[in-house]
Every structure is written in structure tokens, then in C-alpha cells.
Amino acid sequence: MRATAAALPGIPPAKRTLIAPVVREPVLHRQIADVLRREIAPPGRISDAGVVWWSVDMAAYAGRVPGIRTGRGCIAGCADITVLHQGRAFFIELKADDGQLSPDQAALAVEVLFAGCRYGVARDARECLALLDAWQIPRRGAMRI
């Protein structure tokens, strides 16, 4: 049975509004990875159309020794998903509906664009597939947008 305002006795009308929870980025990341597995290929495996993708998760990872990542060339702001096709690189940053690019992410997005690559932000699987389509990256078309 669907919940309605009338089904919530004892709660003032102003407080009866039901709001869907925001899908957080780790859950969104998993959902989109599942879509890309179906639409392109498993991560790190090339598709029949010559597309390969993978995901990177460095969120809040500092390791045991501060500064060790930067010494190895790891930087803040890396996009969540990298897609390669025909010698070109495409980067997708995933954000929850209420999320924004951090200053590091925005700065790296500018550098990536100046380098001639593509960069996009997706808030759900539909937006991710729309980016792939706009960039003319071949996919199976199992999911319509």
C-alpha cells in the first residue's frame, strides 16, 4: 500500500511530506559500474567495439603515512570512472543529487579538458549513458535513456 499524508495520523500536515532519500556516491558508483558492465564490458576488459573502462576509488584514503600518495603521484580530484576509446580518454565524476565538485575535482577537470580529453559529471545511470552517447562511445544499447 502506498503511503499518503492521510495514512500518517498524528503528524501535522506540514510534516507529512515524504521525501526519497538521496542515493549516496558509493551506492551510485556501484549502480553505474553494474550498468557499464552490461553496456560495455567488465572493468579493465576491452569490448568488441574497442572500449575499455575502469573505476577508481581514492575517497578519503590517506593511508598510514601522510603524504605517501602524493609522493607516488596520486592526486586529489581524480574522476571516478575512466573510459578509453580509439586512443581518447573520457572521465566521469559521479555525484549524489546534492553533491558538488570539490575544488580539486574542478581544477583537475579544467586540466583534463585543456589536455583535449572529455570530462563529465553524472548523477545517475541515465546521465552516465547520456555522456557515453554524446561522446559517441559504442555501447550495447541494453538500456535506453
**Domains of the chain and any CATH numbers:** 24-134 (3.40.1350.10)
Closest CA to 22 of 126, 127, 123: 123
* pLDDT tens column, 41-71: 999 999 999 999 999 876 655 556 666 666 6
* pLDDT tens column, 94-143: 999 888 999 999 999 999 999 999 999 999 999 999 999 999 999 998 77
Q: pLDDT above 70 covers what percent of the chain?
A: 77
**pLDDT of amino acid 1:** 47
- 4-7: Cβ within 8 A, 24+ apart: none
